[in-house]
Structure 1
């Protein structure tokens, strides 16, 4: 499985975005909406966030969409966390 910069992944059950790919098996992760950074995350420690069958969609305001509701349930996040993660 190939990961790229900008992909959303789960690391220790928290949602992160890959901010840079150091090599094919090591990434730098940034938690959206926070200052939390994981400088060296090995590929074996992350899961693609879409593995739950939910795609992360573009940011929008208003009530939670069906996709956002599924993301919230699958990843145990609040609507605010989901929207911050999508940037």
Structure 2
């Protein structure tokens, strides 16, 4: 329900952090598509935390913390692609 139709996303933890509900989540897919040309990459370059705009759940503020991977682009597959790295996205939640 939280991630819409993206079955490749999972909630890792839910808890209270002061007055907020804290939800930790990540994508589970092995690869991600380059946003410019759609070429798939499975080479992870980096991982970082992302905090999409806060939401509310049952009247309590919610902080969603996504663990996001950066992938190495594949210019060899698509000659016109200039993406060296790109971040994975969750359909319906994050986007370019």
Q: Please say whether Structure 1 and Structure 2 have the same fold, judged by a TM-score greater than 0.5.
A: no
Structure showing greater relative contact order (alpha-carbon pairs closer than 8 Å, 6 or more residues apart) = 2
TM value normalised by structure 2: 0.29
Q: Give the number of the structure whose residues are more often strand, by fraction.
A: 2
Structure with greater helix share of residues: 1
Structure showing greater radius of gyration is 2
TM-score, L = length of structure 1? 0.31
